[in-house]
């Protein structure tokens, strides 16, 4: 038996499912009703299940029919995306597939997505993961862009491009009553701290306390900015983090920022691969974000 599915049959089935009537579907497809009926029967034989049940004069999908229609919709939608991608058709764009480092600030991700949310730029898919997984997906064309706070390591055969699209000052954030210290040194010597485990922030923080000659009390080493935010909100300690991480808590007065310049900034990068057929919305989106980098 031929294991392959006949996609002409699947397209005919999809039209009948949408119309709920064999005659109307035949008219739309410009084929004889008897020929369409044969095509549907051949698809049912191939799948091994009845796809329709007749209720009065209407064809109603069976459970197997609903499953088949769901797959058919996705198959033909993917075909439309293929045409839109290769033809660079701005009227029918595939989803922008975005990867984000799992430890990346959710507020920053929302800032990146906001232009897509307030315009007709199309839909998007968002996937979180570790750097290796996301870069592998980028290389296999499963993703269009990866958001991260670090530039990928160069490896033979991989030509990733890392474009800086934002930069945030790193401050000390916490409950307002814990920030009443006369100096940065006094604050760091007195209050428990929540510090990222490994990144540019941690390196900058360690250099800063070394210059001040301090050994601060770190109560939490955290690799996830979302958890840094939650711990600060719970009053576990003061968070060393970009302001964007706790922007909502600052806005509603739960947290505040200490009035000291740490001299630390965290960059945010959009990592891409050179492509002949890039997503139509990506270039404009990255240009807009780069123009808004904090000075």
Global confidence as pTM: 0.66
Q: Between helices 33-47 and 22-29, what is the axis angle to 10°?
A: 110
Are 199 and 149 spatial neighbours (Cβ–Cβ below 8 Å)?
Answer: yes
Distance separating alpha carbons of residues 72 and 89, to the nearest angstrom: 22
User: Quick one: 260 and 179 in the same domain?
Assistant: yes
φ and ψ at residue 8, rounded to 5 degrees: -65, -45
Summarize pLDDT for 219-245 with one digit per residue, the tens: 999 988 889 999 999 999 999 999 999
Task: Print the domain residue range for 135.
Answer: 96-161+279-290
Residue 88 has a pLDDT of 62
Residue 255 lies in a domain: yes
CATH number, position 262: 3.40.190.10
Summarize pLDDT for 19-41 with one digit per residue, the tens: 888 888 888 888 998 989 999 99
Distance separating alpha carbons of residues 87 and 71, to the nearest angstrom: 24
Among 43, 64, 87, give the residue marking a domain's end.
87
Instruction: Say how many C-beta atoms besides its own lie within 10 A of residue 220's C-beta.
Output: 17
Strand partners of residue 195: 221
User: Quick one: 284 and 146 in the same domain?
Assistant: yes
User: Quick one: 157 and 171 in the same domain?
Assistant: no
User: Quick one: 261 and 173 in the same domain?
Assistant: yes
Residue 85 has a pLDDT of 66
Residue 91 has a pLDDT of 58
Are 232 and 238 spatial neighbours (Cβ–Cβ below 8 Å)?
Answer: yes
Residues of the chain under the 50 pLDDT cut: 1, 294-295
Closest-CA residue to 244 (of 104, 101, 107, 103): 107
Classify residue 241 by burial, with Cβ atoms within 10 Å: 0-12, 13-18, 19+.
Answer: buried
User: Quick one: 195 and 284 in the same domain?
Assistant: no
Residue 1 has a pLDDT of 45
Q: What is the DSSP letter of 240?
A: E
Distance separating alpha carbons of residues 216 and 194, to the nearest angstrom: 11
Among 87, 111, 139, give the residue marking a domain's end.
87
- What lies within 8 Å, CB to CB, of 61 at 6+ separation is 17, 51, 52, 53, 69
Token pair 């990592």 is at which residue? 271
Report percent pLDDT > 70 for the chain: 91
63: left (phi over 0), alpha (psi -120 to 50) or beta: alpha
User: Quick one: 154 and 283 in the same domain?
Assistant: yes
Residue 295 has a pLDDT of 39
Summarize pLDDT for 117-154 with one digit per residue, the tens: 876 656 888 999 999 999 989 988 889 999 998 888 87
Distance separating alpha carbons of residues 11 and 15, to the nearest angstrom: 6
Lookup: tokens for 283: 């270039």
Average per-residue pLDDT for the chain = 86
Residue 1 lies in a domain: no
């Amino acid at each position: 038996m031929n294991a392959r599915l006949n996609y002409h049959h699947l397209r005919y089935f999809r039209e009948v499912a949408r119309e709920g009537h064999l005659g109307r579907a035949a008219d739309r497809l410009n084929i004889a009703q008897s020929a369409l009926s044969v095509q549907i029967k051949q698809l049912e034989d191939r799948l091994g299940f009845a796809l329709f049940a007749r209720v009065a004069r209407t064809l109603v999908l069976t459970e197997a029919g609903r499953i088949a229609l769901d797959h058919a919709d996705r198959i033909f939608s993917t075909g439309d995306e293929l045409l839109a991608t290769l033809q660079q058709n701005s009227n029918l764009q595939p989803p922008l597939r975005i990867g984000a480092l799992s430890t990346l600030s959710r507020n920053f991700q929302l800032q990146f997505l906001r232009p897509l949310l307030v315009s007709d730029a199309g839909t998007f898919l968002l996937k979180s993961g570790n750097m290796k997984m996301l870069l592998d997906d980028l290389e296999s064309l499963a993703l269009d862009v990866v958001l991260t706070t670090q530039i990928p390591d160069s490896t033979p055969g991989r030509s990733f491009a890392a474009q800086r699209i934002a930069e945030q000052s790193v401050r000390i954030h916490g409950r307002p009553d814990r920030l009443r210290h006369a100096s940065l040194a006094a604050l760091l010597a007195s209050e428990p701290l929540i510090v990222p485990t490994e990144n540019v922030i941690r390196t900058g923080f360690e250099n800063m306390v070394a210059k001040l000659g301090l050994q601060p009390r770190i109560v939490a080493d955290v690799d996830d900015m979302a958890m840094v935010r939650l711990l600060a909100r719970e009053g576990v300690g003061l968070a060393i983090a970009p302001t964007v991480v706790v922007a909502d808590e600052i806005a509603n007065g739960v947290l505040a920022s200490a009035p000291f310049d740490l001299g630390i900034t965290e960059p945010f990068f959009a990592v891409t691969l050179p492509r002949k057929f890039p997503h139509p919305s990506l270039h404009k989106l990255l240009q807009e974000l780069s123009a808004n980098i904090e000075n």
